């Protein structure tokens, strides 16, 4: 019988690929769209005593982002500027009760004066660890951004912040802080501009801090992921010599499976919109391709013993919807006049795997 290569794949591994995923979305209450409030970049969800907990970037802005050229102490450059980490709880994953701030910006001159945002959560041996991005003030397009940590004995806090960041950009490269990352005087390493989107996992007796890097001299959307490990959640963290461990991907989305690490590689690069797996946490391979994946997906984290299927740790969660207003500003609209329009406020929605005839649609 004559069978094409494509049909051989279809009748073989593609048809029963347990890594294949498609998604359905629904609105949520409590963290949905709200004029004047940005909610985005959620952490993974953890379940404690029958309640779901989630942390996320939250900002109350007087107007739509004005860009780096016009930002002030009150006017945000970006949707995630001048933000804090807030948290919410839920019993069903559909309705969420916003509880208030978990970790807030530091005072004048602090390493986190301009913002704390884009959190990741780890529950480990009765303690809770929040890792997140921190921004100095002023924070221009090419000001370094680092990753810090806070810990608490309860998911409701109070949180104690690390005295300094735990992960910094690579020190290579030279660029004008107010300029464009691509216009570098000296090109740096892939993560020399900023380190973002931390996710902290515990595996093989070590803390594995996955993060997104952007480099001096690279296009701003040429992001990739790296990993750094430590014996204590507070560090010191050693960046893997294999970094970057992906060649693509924006917000870091990782979960554990069979002793290894799986991830949704999203939005940027030649391998965007794939689910990948690294048995050793470092050497990722594509396992499936997906369409319309959740943005900045925050999956419900399961105990290792419940991660029995490739996507058990990526079954449902929360993701963000970004509301770009930059096109209106490019059209000449004054950002300060846009405070009242419905468009610019990022918000959170629910996603879940849609397993109905997933190989065909
Ligand atoms: C996000 C994340 C990081 C970036 C910005 C806010 O989706 O990748 O957090 O800094 O965009």
Q: What proportion of the chain, given as a percentage, has pLDDT over 90?
A: 82
The string of pLDDT tens digits covering residues 97-129 is: 999 999 999 999 999 999 999 999 999 999 999
Token pair for 284: 């990722």
| Lowest-confidence segment of 110-114, 205-209, 210-214, 337-341 by average pLDDT | 337-341
pLDDT of residue 344: 76
Q: What pLDDT does 13 receive?
A: 66
Q: Is residue 239 part of a domain?
A: yes
pTM: 0.94
Q: Is residue 8 part of a domain?
A: no
**pLDDT surpasses 70 at 95:** yes
257 Rama sector, left if φ>0, alpha if ψ -120 to 50, beta otherwise? beta
DSSP for 140-179? -TTS-EEEEEEEESSTT---EE-SS-SB---S--B--TTS
In terms of residue numbers, what domain contains 315? 16-353
Q: Is residue 299 part of a domain?
A: yes
Q: What is the CATH number of the domain that holds 121?
A: 2.115.10.20
Please check whether residue 343 lies inside any domain of the structure. yes
Banded pLDDT at 1 (limits 50, 70, 90): confident
Rounded distance from Cα 133 to ligand 1 centre (Å):
9
Query: Relative to the CA of 212, which ligand 1 atom is closest?
Result: 8
Confidence (pLDDT) at 357: 56
Classify residue 138: in a domain, yes or no. yes
Report pLDDT for 7. 87
pLDDT over threshold 90, residue 281? yes
Confirm whether 359 is domain-assigned.
Answer: no
Determine whether the shortest distance from the Cβ of 132 to ligand 1 is under 6 A: no
Q: Is residue 2 part of a domain?
A: no
**271, exposed or middle or buried, with CB in 10 Å at 0-12, 13-18, 19+?**
middle
Tally of domains within the chain = 1
In this structure, is residue 84 part of a structural domain? yes
Cα(197) to centroid(ligand 1), Å: 7
Ligand 1 centroid vs 274 CA: distance in angstroms? 19
d(CA 361, CA 336): 43
Q: How far apart are CA 69 and CA 53, in angstroms?
A: 37
Q: Ligand 1, closest atom to CA 320?
A: 7
Residue 338 pLDDT more than 90?
Answer: no
């Amino acid at each position: 019988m004559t069978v094409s290569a494509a049909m051989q794949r279809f009748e073989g591994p593609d048809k029963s690929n347990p890594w294949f995923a498609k998604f359905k979305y629904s609105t949520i209450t409590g963290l949905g769209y709200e004029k004047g409030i940005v909610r985005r970049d959620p952490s993974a969800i953890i379940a404690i005593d029958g309640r779901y907990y989630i942390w996320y970037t939250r900002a109350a802005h007087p107007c739509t982002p004005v860009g780096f050229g016009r930002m002030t102490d009150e006017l945000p450059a970006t949707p995630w500027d001048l933000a804090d980490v807030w948290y919410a709880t839920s019993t069903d994953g559909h309705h969420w009760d916003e509880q208030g701030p978990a970790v807030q910006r530091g005072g004048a001159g602090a390493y986190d004066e301009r913002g704390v945002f884009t959190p990741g959560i780890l529950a480990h041996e009765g303690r809770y660890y929040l890792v997140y991005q921190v921004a100095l003030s002023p924070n221009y397009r090419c000001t370094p951004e680092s990753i810090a940590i806070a810990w608490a004995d309860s998911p409701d806090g109070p949180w104690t912040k690390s005295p300094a960041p735990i992960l910094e950009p690579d020190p290579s490269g030279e660029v004008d802080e107010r300029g464009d990352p691509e216009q570098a005087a000296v090109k740096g390493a892939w993560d020399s501009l900023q380190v973002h989107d931390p996710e902290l996992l515990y595996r093989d007796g070590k803390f594995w801090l996955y993060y997104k890097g952007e480099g001096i001299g690279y296009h701003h959307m040429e992001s990739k992921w790296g990993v750094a490990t430590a014996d204590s959640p507070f560090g010191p963290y050693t960046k893997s010599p294999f970094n970057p461990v992906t060649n693509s991907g924006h917000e870091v989305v990782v979960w554990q499976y069979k002793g290894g690490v799986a991830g949704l590689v999203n939005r940027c690069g030649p391998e965007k919109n794939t689910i990948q797996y690294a048995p050793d946490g470092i050497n990722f391979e594509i396992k499936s391709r997906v369409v319309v994946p959740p943005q900045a997906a925050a999956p419900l984290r399961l105990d290792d013993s419940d991660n029995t299927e490739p996507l058990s740790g990526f079954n449902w969660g929360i993701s963000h919807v970004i509301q770009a207003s930059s096109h209106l500003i490019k059209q000449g609209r004054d950002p300060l006049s846009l405070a009242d329009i419905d468009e610019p406020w990022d918000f959170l929605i629910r996603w879940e795997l849609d397993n109905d005839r997933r190989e065909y649609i």
